[in-house]
């Protein structure tokens, strides 16, 4: 039977974590999906790990695992760390801040099964997909980054910077081995490398809703890093 390991990277998500975990359990149980939830917390000062431990007491350590690290080491490396503890043959990566709704997961799984895709990527930029709650500046950055990367890299997916995705575990293992970046740009690199390695990608339109609690960790450093990597991938891949 297929098993899905859901990776939830967290940094200061004390308020969001109980809600996202509850929603995940509700939708995945309802759809009779076999899963585990892996929380990768980078030593959040707001007590996210204490909340995670309480959730494990409530829902059980067969459903929720906490795989903490001592300090903030970046989003890309958090995925790698989580995956090394995953027992599923499929991996689902999503944000813990309620921007990604678990109701889309059964659609990801259905599409993957139908076409045996290596990757299913949530897309905000196709069909019914969309973004809610971002200000004009943030929308412009995201759209601009996507437009530029589409133009330069010609990837097989319409949302290069999004992170709500399902991977076959062996595919993700190969992609991780091929990827060099550590931060947010990891999402883009995965799709670019996927094309080079000839992995198939299906897409499910998703609505991305900006977080209500807490703050985004994306700043100028991540944006500059993204631009540098974009040019590097353009020149090398």
Binding site for ligand GDD (CB under 6 A): 9-11, 13, 40-42, 72, 74-75, 78, 95-97, 99, 142, 161-163, 184, 187, 211, 216-218
Nearest distance from residue 174's CB to ligand GDD, in Å?
A: 21
How far apart are the C-alpha atoms of 11 and 211, rounded to whole Å? Answer: 13
Q: Are 169 and 80 in contact (CB under 8 A)?
A: no
Structure tokens, 139: 């929308």
Closer residue to ligand GDD (CB): 5 or 163: 163
Which is closer to ligand GDD, CB of 33 or CB of 93? 93
The residue (of 4 and 164) whose beta carbon lies closer to ligand GDD is 164
Q: Minimum distance between the CB of residue 202 and ligand GDD, rounded to whole angstroms?
A: 19
Is the distance from CB of 92 to CB of 165 less than 8 angstroms?
yes
What's the token pair of residue 102? 């678990």
Closest contact distance (angstroms) between CB of 96 and ligand GDD is 4
Helix ranges, the chain (H): 17-30, 48-59, 75-83, 105-115, 136-153, 169-178, 186-196, 220-236
Contact 2, 110 (CB under 8 A): no
- Of all residues in this chain, which one has the CB nearest to ligand GDD in the complex? 216
Smallest gap from residue 73 Cβ to ligand GDD (A):
6
Q: How far apart are CA 203 and CA 200, in angstroms?
A: 10
* Identity of the residue, 152 or 218, whose beta carbon is nearer to ligand GDD in the bound complex: 218
Q: Which is nearer to ligand GDD, 89 or 103 (CB)?
A: 103
To ligand GDD, the closest distance from the beta carbon of 19 in angstroms equals 12
């Amino acid at each position: 039977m297929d098993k899905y390991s859901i990776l939830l990277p967290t940094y200061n998500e004390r308020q969001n974590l109980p809600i996202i975990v509850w929603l995940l359990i509700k939708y995945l149980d309802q759809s009779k999906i076999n899963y585990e939830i892996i929380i990768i917390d980078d030593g959040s000062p707001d007590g996210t790990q204490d909340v995670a431990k309480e959730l494990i007491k409530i829902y059980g350590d067969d459903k929720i695992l906490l795989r903490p690290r001592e300090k903030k080491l970046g989003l890309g490396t958090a995925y790698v760390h989580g995956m090394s503890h995953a027992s599923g043959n499929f991996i689902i990566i999503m944000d813990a801040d309620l921007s990604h709704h678990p109701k889309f997961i059964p659609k990801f799984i259905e599409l993957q099964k139908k076409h045996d895709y290596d990757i299913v990527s949530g897309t905000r930029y196709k069909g019914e997909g969309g973004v809610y709650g971002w200000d004009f500046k943030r929308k412009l950055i995201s759209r601009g980054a996507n437009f530029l990367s589409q133009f330069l890299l010609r990837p097989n997916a319409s949302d290069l910077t999004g992170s709500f995705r399902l991977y076959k575990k062996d595919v993700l293992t190969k992609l991780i081995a091929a990827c060099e970046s550590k931060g947010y740009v990891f999402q883009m690199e995965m799709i670019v490398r996927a094309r080079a390695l000839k992995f198939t990608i299906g897409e499910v339109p998703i609505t991305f809703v900006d977080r209500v609690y807490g703050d985004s960790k994306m700043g100028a450093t991540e944006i500059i890093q993204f631009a540098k990597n974009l040019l590097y991938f353009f020149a090398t891949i």
